[in-house]
């Protein structure tokens, strides 16, 4: 279970209402049962459930199981797409080790709202399932140009399907983290929008082959390539 509390042997920490509910109702655990608690700052620790009621609970922290380690700084900028597809992208991106998920509003985005809390909960669940120590930061959605204006200059690859762009595997050969991966919405980027994006000095337009992939496929496929080439 992920926790923001400070983890050290002997610590007593409270469960969140969601954790208490999940432990008692879904996992059918109770006082005396063993769990593992983790966060990126302290690592992973053995723990024992010491109390559990409907939406309250507590843990006694035991020995450290894993030390914290630096996580790859691989960031995903993904256009706001339909809810189920975005949920899936957040889950898979978390499994693939992204550090930050930044939903962006693009000209052809057909959804006008992104529920950041819901996506953060999905990211937390996926991090617990895949045993990474950190949970990616899910940022509130912002317009694409604002995300580009705020970008810190790390190399950013934009998935551009019809521009004769260089294959991602060539463009990213030898690339180093931090890296970003930007994917458009169901209807693709508008021409001027893509022009503005690639005019930024840190952006390179790249392709994932001759087929038109769904946005969610492109998001996950590109992250897998970048992890293989530059991540861990
Ligand atoms: N409406 C667009 C069209 O018909 O040309 C297709 C958009 S595609 C479904 C959604 C997004 O996935 C694109 O904006 C792009 O970022 C990414 N994408 C899809 N296929 C790709 C490919 N072969 N190479 C690079 N990016 C791709």
Report the CATH number that the domain containing residue 19 is assigned in CATH: 2.40.240.20
What pLDDT shows up at residue 137?
97
114 lines ligand 1 (CB under 6 A): no
94 and 209 together in one domain: yes
CB 151 within 8 A of CB 197: no
CB 23 within 8 A of CB 29: yes
pLDDT along the chain (232 residues), means of 10: 96 95 92 96 97 94 96 96 98 98 96 96 95 96 98 97 88 95 97 96 96 97 96 86
Residue that terminates a domain, selected from 66, 85, 107: 66
36 and 81 together in one domain: no
In a domain, 94, yes or no: yes
Q: Atom 9 of ligand 1 has which residue's CA nearest to it?
A: 214
Q: What is the DSSP letter of 2?
A: B
42 and 103 together in one domain: no
Range of the domain at 19: 12-66
Question: Which of 159, 186, 198 to probe ligand 1 with, by most ligand atoms within 8 A of CB?
Answer: 159
80 and 187 together in one domain: yes
What's the 124 CA to ligand 1 centre distance in angstroms? 28
80 and 61 together in one domain: no
62 and 78 together in one domain: no
125 lines ligand 1 (CB under 6 A): no
For the entire predicted model, the pTM comes to: 0.93
Distance from C-alpha of 135 to C-alpha of 107, rounded to nearest angstrom: 29
124 and 39 together in one domain: no
In a domain, 97, yes or no: yes
Structure tokens at 65: 């199981």
112 and 187 together in one domain: yes
Q: What are phi and psi of 128, to 5 degrees?
A: -65, -40
Structure tokens at 184: 């458009």
162 lines ligand 1 (CB under 6 A): yes
86 and 188 together in one domain: yes
What pLDDT shows up at residue 222?
98
184 and 108 together in one domain: yes
What's the 105 CA to ligand 1 centre distance in angstroms? 16
In a domain, 2, yes or no: no
What pLDDT shows up at residue 47?
97
106 and 58 together in one domain: no
142 and 218 together in one domain: yes
In a domain, 4, yes or no: no
What pLDDT shows up at residue 54?
85
Helical residues (DSSP H) of the chain, grouped into ranges: 17-21, 83-95, 116-130, 144-149, 168-171, 191-198, 215-230
Query: What is the number of domains present in the chain?
Result: 2
CATH assignment of the domain containing 165? 3.40.1280.10
What's the 186 CA to ligand 1 centre distance in angstroms? 8
Q: Atom 6 of ligand 1 has which residue's CA nearest to it?
A: 188
In a domain, 6, yes or no: no
* Strand intervals (E) in the chain: 12-14, 34-39, 43-53, 56-66, 74-79, 100-105, 137-138, 142-143, 155-159, 166-167, 179-183, 203-207
Q: Atom 1 of ligand 1 has which residue's CA nearest to it?
A: 187
What pLDDT shows up at residue 91?
98
What pLDDT shows up at residue 164?
81
B/e letters for 182-196, b = 16+ CB within 10 Å, e = fewer, are bbbbbebbeeebbee
CB 52 within 8 A of CB 15: yes
């Amino acid at each position: 279970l992920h926790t923001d509390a400070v983890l050290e042997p002997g610590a007593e920490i409270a469960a969140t209402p969601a954790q208490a509910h999940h432990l008692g109702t879904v996992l059918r655990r109770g006082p005396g049962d063993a769990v593992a608690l983790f966060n990126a700052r302290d690592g992973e620790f053995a723990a024992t459930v010491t109390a559990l009621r409907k939406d309250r609970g507590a843990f006694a922290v035991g020995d450290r199981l894993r030390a914290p380690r630096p996580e790859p700084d691989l960031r995903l900028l993904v256009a706001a797409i339909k809810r189920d597809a975005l949920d899936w992208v957040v889950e898979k991106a978390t499994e693939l080790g992204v550090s930050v998920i930044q939903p962006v509003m693009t000209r052809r985005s057909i959804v006008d709202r992104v529920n950041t809390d819901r996506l953060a909960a999905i990211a937390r669940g996926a991090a617990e399932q895949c045993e990474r120590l950190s949970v990616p930061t899910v940022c509130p959605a912002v317009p694409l140009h604002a995300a580009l204006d705020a970008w810190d200059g790390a190399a950013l690859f934009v998935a551009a399907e019809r521009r004769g762009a260089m294959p991602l595997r060539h463009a990213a050969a030898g690339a180093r983290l931090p890296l970003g991966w930007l994917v458009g919405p169901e209807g693709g980027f508008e021409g001027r929008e893509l022009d503005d994006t690639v005019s930024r000095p840190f952006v390179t337009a790249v392709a994932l082959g001759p087929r038109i992939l769904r946005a969610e496929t492109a998001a996950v496929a590109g992250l897998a390539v970048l992890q293989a080439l530059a991540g861990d």
